[in-house]
Amino acid sequence: LAKVIDGKLVSNQIKDEVAGEVAGMKEAIGVIPGLAVILVGSRKDSQTYVRNKKKACEAVGIKSYEVNLPEDSTEEEVIKHILEFNNDPSVHGILVQLPLPRHMNEENILNAVNIEKDVDGFHPLNIGRLAMQGRDPLFVPCTPKGCMELLYRHGVEIKGKRAVVIGRSNIVGMPAALLLQKANATVSIVHSHTKNPEEVTRQADIVISAAGVANLVRGSWIKPGAVVIDVGINPVDDAESPRGYRLVGDVCYEEACTEASAITPVPGGVGPMTIAMLLSNTLESAKRIHNFK
């Protein structure tokens, strides 16, 4: 049976490491890392994410700054706040909570973030550098970085292995595939137009699934002994849960457990890693800006 890759445990280890370094930095040079979060509109899920990010910052000693703008704000107003944070020396990371309201151009807004403070790693320059050989981005997007960190910390060998990423979104699938390739895996990408996806996934020593489709990946899709990282977070009806639903990944967990050598559960796998990576990116940024080793 597959070993369970415990994202909660690993994320707590990383948070402890970040907290230690934040304290050390404050003591040595008097600098406290700062993260600014810009939220536009009043989506409940986005509000929850922003609240969790703030709480996580507090827990490790990172200072957080928050701007809430109304749904009908203009692009210029959002950009004005970004530019202020770009120029604010107490802010080392700037995060614009996505999705933005439909009337805004996401690229214009993400472009305004100083790449030195782009802790989400969504600036086109950072993504471009991630795609280029011999170049490194200043920041790597948090969710795919969390997937890689789980692989590293579980001693999974990546070099020379076959990896398959399911999904090609800008925030998860595409950067995950680029990261695996940078780590010298041979990478295939499966997406909504792929015919016979199971023929591709069955080749893979490492599967990262980020499709957002419950029960997409069956046990028969998994090569025996593969490592499975399930990024999906999908609500499914559940009359027994007080909320009327529960969250599952993209992978049929029980089926995959009998095939894989290791697997992330949902919840408690990749989910907690995303915020841990955001904290670690913010610390990294403060260290770089202040030339602190």
Rounded to whole angstroms, the Cα distance separating 241 from 237 reads 9
State which of residues 33, 41, 93, 197 lies at the interface with ligand NAD (CB under 6 A): 197
Is 177 one of the binding residues for ligand NAD (CB under 6 A)?
no
Residue labelled with tokens 């230690």: 20
Nearer to ligand NAD, 84 or 255 (CB): 255
Window 210 to 269, contacts with ligand NAD (CB under 6 A): 210-213, 216, 231-234
In Å, how far from its chain's centre is CA 176?
9
Residue 47 is a catalytic residue: no
Cβ contacts of 87 within 8 Å, gap of 6 or more: none
Nearer to ligand NAD, 85 or 221 (CB): 221
- Which structure tokens are listed for 184? 């010298």
Rounded to whole angstroms, the Cα distance separating 254 from 248 reads 12
- Residue 264's nearest CA partner among 182, 184, 153 is 153
- Which structure tokens are listed for 63? 């200072």
Nearer to ligand NAD, 145 or 287 (CB): 145
- Residue 274's nearest CA partner among 188, 126, 148 is 148
State which of residues 94, 96, 172, 208 lies at the interface with ligand NAD (CB under 6 A): 172
> Which of 15, 117, 120, 145 is labelled catalytic?
120
Is 274 one of the binding residues for ligand NAD (CB under 6 A)?
yes
Stretch that binds ligand NAD, among 40-48, 61-69, 204-212, 256-264 (CB under 6 A): 204-212
Window 124 to 163, contacts with ligand NAD (CB under 6 A): 143
Residue 6 is a catalytic residue: no
Rounded to whole angstroms, the Cα distance separating 37 from 278 reads 11
Q: Dihedrals φ, ψ of 205, to 5°?
A: -80, -25
Is 271 one of the binding residues for ligand NAD (CB under 6 A)?
yes
User: Which of the residues are catalytic?
Assistant: 53, 97, 120
Residues that bind ligand NAD (CB under 6 A): 143, 166-169, 171-173, 190-192, 194, 197, 210-213, 216, 231-234, 270-271, 274
